[in-house]
Amino acid sequence: MESQIITDFQIREYLLGRLDADSRLVEQIDIQILTEPDFSLSVDVVEDEIIEEYIEGKLTLEDKQAVEGYFLRPPERQSKLRKARLLVHHLSQNWAQSSAQTAVEEPTAALPFTSRRPQAALFRIPSLAAIAAALVFAVGLAYFLYQRHITGVAIDQSKRQIAQEGLQAVQPAPFSTVTLNLYSTGLDRGATNLPEITLYRSTAILHLEITLTAPAGLYHAQLLENGKPLLPISDHTATALNGGSVLQLDLPAQSLSTATYELALAPLGKSYWFRVKSVE
């Protein structure tokens, strides 16, 4: 039986976890990702589009839940989202600074023909600050695309090696610090869809990054296991981000085992749940 042509829409549904895991279509996509570099690049492009729409808030509620409950499980996608957010935040700051500088440099006296040609303001020569901001954007974008290319080459090489050796799975290499991103509160998505992180014997720190819709400020966090306090955590300051803030915490990995944990934040009165898997 010939393989069907896979569309970008089907790739998107695959990445959002909305295809039957046992279907022939999912099997075909898995095989083509491993064996066809061009197809793997197409998957990466759709993946980047999903991250871009998520940051810009253009996703539907159903797609947003699929992104947070399934798409962002792999650590590499969490890392890509974090880098994209930092880039957007950096560019937005430069754009705001350049806009303010341009406003200061504009003459206050009205030109004689202003009333007849109000659109002339659109054609003013950009300031040096605006040009600098454009250069920063270009350099940042080029660096981001370069990093994505390097990562894609490394992934392709690993996939080819896996296919040649006939391996079914590869255990990720342990790191002294691992990162887990938390986005949604409560258990409304069900226990089976909780964010999960794997800790190895060599793991020393579990780094948590919690995305808040609340403004930047001082927050107190308490880690709970089965409703009982496990680790008292001192106050931490959340960093401002577009549309909210980000709170970063470091937990000692040796104090955690295979279990489900609750991170309660005050004064928000909200809890973030996640699961830890400990591997010897």
pLDDT band of 99, cuts 50, 70, 90: low
pLDDT band of 129, cuts 50, 70, 90: low
* pLDDT at residue 40, as a whole number: 93
pLDDT band of 47, cuts 50, 70, 90: very high
* pLDDT at residue 50, as a whole number: 96
Q: What φ, ψ does residue 265 adopt, rounded to 5°?
A: -115, 130
For residues 241 and 260, the answer to whether their CB atoms sit within 8 Å is: no
Residues 6+ apart with CB under 8 A from 121: none
Q: Which of 133, 136, 131, 142 is nearest to 95 (CA)?
A: 133
What does the alpha-carbon distance between residue 258 and residue 279 come to, in Å, rounded to a whole number? 8
For residues 127 and 98, the answer to whether their CB atoms sit within 8 Å is: yes
* pLDDT at residue 122, as a whole number: 40
Residues 6+ apart with CB under 8 A from 261: 223, 224, 225, 230, 273, 274, 275, 276
* pLDDT at residue 186, as a whole number: 60
267: preceding bond cis by omega (within 30 degrees): yes
What does the alpha-carbon distance between residue 251 and residue 230 come to, in Å, rounded to a whole number? 11
Residues 30-55, mean pLDDT to the nearest whole number: 94
What does the alpha-carbon distance between residue 145 and residue 157 come to, in Å, rounded to a whole number? 18
Is the predicted pLDDT of residue 264 greater than 70, yes or no? yes
Q: What φ, ψ does residue 204 adopt, rounded to 5°?
A: -100, -35
pLDDT band of 117, cuts 50, 70, 90: very low
* pLDDT at residue 147, as a whole number: 63
pLDDT band of 109, cuts 50, 70, 90: very low
Eight-state DSSP code of residue 227:
T
Between 80 and 94, the higher pLDDT residue: 80
* pLDDT at residue 149, as a whole number: 61
* pLDDT at residue 39, as a whole number: 93
What does the alpha-carbon distance between residue 78 and residue 228 come to, in Å, rounded to a whole number? 29
Strands (E), the chain: 177-182, 196-200, 205-212, 217-225, 228-232, 236-241, 244-252, 259-266, 270-279
- In the chain, the N- to C-terminal Cα span, in Å, equals 44
pLDDT band of 207, cuts 50, 70, 90: confident
Tokens of 199: 């800790």
